[in-house]
Structure 1
Amino acid sequence: MTLDNFKNRVAYVKDDFRFKNPRRVMKVWAEKEFLNLKRLHRAEIRCPRPIELKKHVLLMSMIGDEHAAPRLKNVNWGDEELKTKAFDQVEEECKLVHGDLSEFNLLYYHEDVFVIDVAQAVDISHPHSLVFLVRDIENVLNFFDKIGTPDLPTATKLFNDITGLEMIEGKNLLVQVDTFEVENRNQTHKRAKAKPADSEFEKYEEERKLHSNSPAHDYN
């Protein structure tokens, strides 16, 4: 985890007393990154392979050869077929609620797309997961539209395909999703929506217990 990434992520938990210790924050985010990378591997989504975690230091495989693979934003796109193939792969990766998915944290290597920087990714049961998913979808569509990818779906269609829900074309997707969450989430989720930091912390603690207090317990 770099210092810049750490500074950005402090915003997620800066008002929670449990994360006032900067070292504690870095350790939590490193562990979340480790757990989410393992989830991605189980789901066969392309990403770095997590190798070892010690405190706040995470070792993972490198995507690339002598140099790191380029981010999507730095790829020189010339073939429409390659653009479409890349988009189709990213569409699969949208099934993970990344929370910050964009051309800046998607790598391109041997005509395949790899997702990185997944510490802030959330479970679909997170109270804001569908809103985060809308943001991911809009970021991805904006990028692929900018590079001239043909036959892109609308944000609403892509959202419906991923979630199985039926949001209405032509209406504001984010408003519809927010309304859906308010009206359809159960009471546990409604309470969590009021205090999302509590919800995320509880899930993190559940993961720690499953791995004898450290998600890297079996790997160190």
Structure 2
Amino acid sequence: MRDLGRDARSVLAAIERGMKNHYLVPTALIAKFARMNLQNLKYHMSEIHRKKLVYHENKAYDGYRLTYRGLDALAINCLVERGSLASFGMIIGKGKESDVYLGTGGPKSSTVVVKIHRLGRVSFTKAREKRDYYSGDRPSSWMFISKLAAQKEYNHLRALHGRDFPVPQPIDSNRHIVVMEYKPYSLLNHVQTLNKPKRTFVEIVNLVNRFLANGIVHCDLNEFNLLINVDTGELTVIDFPQIISAKHPDARFMVERDLECVRRFFQKRFKKSYNVTADFSLLPTNDDKISNDETNLGVLLKLSGYSNQKRDDEYRRYREDILRAESQWQDAIDKGL
């Protein structure tokens, strides 16, 4: 990516633009968007294709589309130009929906975490059923939905960090990548012993209650999304694309499921069982009051469930949108378009 010239980046950006309406972007359209003649375009296409930044097909017509690697190149270049990212380090996490790296960046060139969303992996086809990433009226690709997921996570982190929740400070975001503060803590799943396990469990429940008091539910709170300072017991919560409003019809179920996940982990790892549960009296009951409360994060972030009609209708509809998008994407592949 360091050897990628300005013209090559312009070609990648032109393909990205064309992918809004094409599965494979015609060569002539790429040349038009990149403002480049076909001879120069062919030269740069050869370079970026060799680096596996694009996929090429010449069946129905000569066309290209970005690979995730090409999208990485565009996003990383923007983050570097803005001074938010200077270098990449080791990979510290590889999950079903993202890859997480250490890096350096920010105003002080400090250690940062670089989270690259990669929805649509075979192991994560359930994303369309569990994530409120998309509620628009037109179908879209997994690459587009990855961008939405990253933007949602960045916005959620900004709002939560602004209210002093124990979350990493967001630094920047571009396309499907989020750069955030690095917390030198241990993943709870990696911790074998705790000095005061009950205190830690109670603090997790208190965090859930604090989320509820601010109108949100995490929806994926478990040992893989909790960081802990084993010396002080300080907790940090991570992974926020999927949060919903506390007014969502499934809010209580999601809270109970989150706490049950944590409870099972404590039983298995530390041989401790605690009956402490969330304060469900914090779940909203007055719809009109919540809908007009701009201090409520569920309202402020327009999370699924924050209103009775419009957003809830979108939440129910987005699953059909994503299923249709995936179906059209597969049809295009089958037809060679």
Shorter-chain TM-score bucket reads 0.5 to 0.7
In the other structure, the counterpart of 2:240 is 118
1:137 is the counterpart of 2:259: yes
In the other structure, the counterpart of 1:27 is 147
Structure 1, gaps ≥5 residues long = 166-184, 201-220
1:88-167 mapped onto 2 (5 Å cutoff): 88-95=202-209, 96=211, 97-109=217-229, 110-146=232-268, 147-149=270-272, 152-154=274-276, 157-160=277-280, 163=283
Instruction: Number of aligned residue pairs: give it.
Output: 171
Structure 2, gaps ≥5 residues long = 1-92, 98-118, 212-216, 286-304, 320-337
Q: Distance in 1 between matches of 2:163 and 2:306?
A: 27
Q: Which secondary structure state, in structure 2, belongs to the residue aligned with residue 88 of structure 1?
A: helix
Post-superposition Cα deviations, 1:42-87, rounded to whole Å, max 9, x if no partner, equal: 33221111011112211101111xxxx32111102142x2x12221
Q: Distance in 2 between matches of 1:105 and 1:186?
A: 24
Q: Distance in 2 between matches of 1:19 and 1:93?
A: 36
Distance 1:126 1:164, change over 3 A: closer
Percent same amino acid among aligned pairs?
A: 23
TM-score, length of structure 2 as denominator length: 0.43
Relative to its length, the structure with more strand (as a share) is 2
In the other structure, the counterpart of 1:211 is none
8 Å contact 2:147–2:175 — kept in the other structure? yes
TM-score, length of structure 1 as denominator length: 0.63
Q: Distance in 1 between matches of 2:311 and 2:189?
A: 39
Relative to its length, the structure with more helix (as a share) is 1
| Correspondence for 1:12 among 120, 130, 141 | 130
* Residue 199 of structure 1, CA deviation: 8.1
In the other structure, the counterpart of 1:168 is none
1:196 is the counterpart of 2:287: no
Q: Distance in 2 between matches of 1:99 and 1:38?
A: 18
| Correspondence for 1:63 among 160, 183, 199 | 183
Q: Where in structure 1 do 4 or more consecutive aligned residues deviate above 6 Å?
A: 14-17
Post-superposition Cα deviations, 1:132-181, rounded to whole Å, max 9, x if no partner, equal: 1121121122222332346x225xx435365499xxxxxxxxxxxxxxxx
Q: Which secondary structure state, in structure 2, belongs to the residue aligned with residue 158 of structure 1?
A: coil
Indicate the RMSD between aligned Cα atoms, in angstroms.
3.5
Distance 1:19 1:116, change over 3 A: farther
